[in-house]
Structure 1
Amino acid sequence: MTRSTTVLVIGGGATGVGIARDLALRGVDVTLAERGGLASGTSGRSHGLLHSGARYAEADPTGAEECIEENRILRSIAGACIRDTGGLFVQLPADDPDYFERKRAACEELGIDTELLDATEARDLVPDLSEAVERAFRVPDAVIYPSRLVAANAADAADQGASIHPNAPLESVTVEDGRVTSAHLGGTVSETIEPDYLVNAAGAWAGEVAAMAGLDVEMAPSRGVMVAVDYDRVGSVLNRCRDPDDGDIVVPHERQAVLGTTSVPASDPDDYERADWEVETCIEECATMLPPVADAEIERTWWGVRPLYAPDEAESERRGISRGFLRLDHAEDGVENAVSVVGGKLTTYRQMAEATTDLLCDRLGVTTDCTTAEEPLPGADDPGTLDEFVARFDGQGPTDSDVVASR
């Protein structure tokens, strides 16, 4: 079977479904295909942190500004996809006090609200915080449940006429005379799509998708482990106030704490080592901030692969690769109707989608403005409805399985 669509989006993570939603809201015919269930890649395998931007404030101010802007938008549109916990950056004796001051000053300069706390005030907020903590500052971090977020975007896109296909892997792409003319989908769809435009939003797998169209997108994925332990007394996101390193974030869920993470090069986003030392390091390092997690029962562990884009980047430097995103217009590479969107963070998915959709609409002559920053997601205030969306799109990921699956 063969059918046509204006835009074919490959990748059913947050960015892909965000693009599908944005296009559909602007009246563009769009089809989305994901090889597994929605959010089965990087989006559904994170630690679930809605960044305030503080983590990047002094090293990547542009990325930090993107985070705080999107943090505020998602709080207004995403309802029960978000849990508003706040966050703390804590300083331990081994941490550079000048780094603490630089980070806080950078936050203030970027408009990221902070509140300086002494050790006693910090422990009033988190009673089990280490006695070694010297001081902290509060930031507007939060928790995000990606399964709900992705499924709600997909539901809205479908309501606006988009065709959303989980479990429909891309099997081939045909390029003729500098244009993508067709793409064959397998799995539950088994049909050939003839798109006017192809969008590669496959995250860590963007290089493989691009290669099917004879394009070169150089990804440098890195793996990271998350460890969920049986502990419900943290309340606030905890960040170690030092240069990003292994085991420096604790993310509170309803009855668990998620400890993260590591950063290890992964040449293949489907086939990589899952090493015991990563789990042990995360627990040990997070316990320096929150000692009880050292002895808490491990409920589950999972690894995610970051979709880092870094042409010619040395493997040893992957933790330092920018977490910003890029829109790659492949007209410059000889395929005039293909676009890739790479990099980024879960927090900034909507902005990535808007930027990509703006480019497509410009090419298509569509003048309708983006409304995704104002339009609430469907079911946003009803966890039960959101979880029905997750089931509808086979969207359960490990990040929030303790919350979404419990409903």
Structure 2
Amino acid sequence: MSDMAVTRELFDQVMVPNYAPSGSIPVRGQGARVWDQQGREFIDFAGGIAVNCLGHCHPALVGALKEQGEKLWHLSNVWTNEPALRLGKKLVDATFAERVYFCNSGAEANEAALKLARRYAIEHHGPEKTQIIAFHQGFHGRTFFTVTVGGQAAYSDGFGPKPADVEHVPYNDLDALKALISDRTCAVVMEPLQGEGGIISPNADFVQAVRELCDQHNALLVFDEVQTGVGRTGALYAYMDLGVTPDILTSAKALGGGFPIGAMLTRADIAASLKPGTHGSTYGGNPLACAVAEAAFDTVNTPEVLAGVKEREGWYREDLAKINAKYQCFSEVRGKGLLLGCVMNEQYQGRAKEFLQAASEEGLMVLIAGANVVRFAPSLVITREEVQEGLARFERAVARVVNG
């Protein structure tokens, strides 16, 4: 197998066509740098979509993987294991939560959260309390339940009848939420900063009011922190800076630093509704994933790294302002910490993808969040030099687009 020619063409021959990946194939990474098959270097501002919180091949993660890889990979949940218990204890100690459920991804964490919210409401308030309210442009995963709760119908249309009793209102629109919420509502599901929807921050008074409305109607507040969690916004979890505590929180992406893992966190009284047999995951909480995640969590959850995220946000904002003063293509830079979005102004509407492609040609990996936002979600420990070099490449990419 090793002498097989592995090219981008092979993708089209063997893979289901739901992705259209870049022409170059990365083969190696170190810190915030990645090299492709041809040895071409990229600066990574994409972070595997906010996953690689410690960049590539961080020694703490490599060490944890190698060490656990020699011990135990998988048991099944007929037994528990030490890495899962240690990671669970650390998550509980560091957050509002009292109980943790492990799975493999953000979608699975959200699936568990939605099932728990429904089950809790039905057990405590009766069979009518099933309505889930979420927000337009929200994103919660691609399982059929989570993609229906996500606020982009295009992602859930065309697959037949959708899970019922799921409704959407505009983000930051308190009146719309007030008009819809009732004692039939079992949960309000929201990102404390919309990621895929365009890097939209919540108004502080809006978040407070959502919490109060949930309390009034005995509805659970579910925070999807898959993208915002584990240091991304400069707090360990975004809710900590908002002065609002959810009832259920979901975490994934950066939690494993690149190794697949997800977690749903909640209070003990709510968790009680998932009794043995009600929900599960074959790989969830396996020792290999939990050992790597524990190393990632320990590394990020320090005052130095979290303060460093806010410092790095300053580096980005300062240099992006200089670039924009020259080329005038962004109306604003949105977001918080190291989840940032450059928003196209009127002249460049719908052209975010052109900036992404030009960046790639200049040796820079970036993301988009919709047609109008170029998104950055780099390593939380990216160096000043890597940021400067990446933004120099970004400036050349911007010049390319602006000058046609």
TM over 0.5: same fold?
A: no
Q: Quick one: higher RCO (CA 8 Å, sep 6+), 1 or 2?
A: 1
Q: Which has the higher strand share?
A: 1
TM-score by length of 2: 0.24
Larger fraction in helix: 2
